[in-house]
Structure 1
Amino acid sequence: MLAPERSAEMLEAEQMILDTVRKLVKEKVEPRAAEIDAKGEYPKDLRDLFAKNDLLGIPFPEEYGGLGSFQTYVKVVEEIAKACASSALIVAVQELGALPIMIAGSDAQKQKYLPKLATGEWMTSYALTEPTSGSDAANMRSTAVRDGDHYVLNGTKVFITNVAVADICIVFASTNKELGPKGVSAFICHTNDPGFKLGKVEHKMGIKGSPTNEVILDNCRIPADRLLGEEGEGFKIAMKTLDKSRPGVAAQALGIAQGALDFAANYLKERVAFGK
Structure 2
Amino acid sequence: MTVPGTGTSTTTRTVTVTGAGTGTGTGTVLVVEDEPSIADVLAIALRYHRFEVMVAGTVREALTLAGRTRPDVALLDIMLPDGDGRALGRELRDRRPELALVFLTARDAPGEIVGALQFGDDYITKPFNIDEVVARITAVLRRTRPADMLPQRPPLRYGDLELDESTYSVHRAGGTVELTPTEYALLRFLVRNGGRIVPKEQLLRHVWQYEHTPPESTVVETYISYLRRKLDALGPPVITTRRGVGYGLA
Q: Same fold (TM over 0.5)?
A: no
Q: Which has the higher strand share?
A: 2
Using CA pairs below 8 Å that are at least 6 residues apart, which structure has the higher relative contact order? 1
Q: What is the TM-score when the length of structure 1 is the normalising length?
A: 0.26
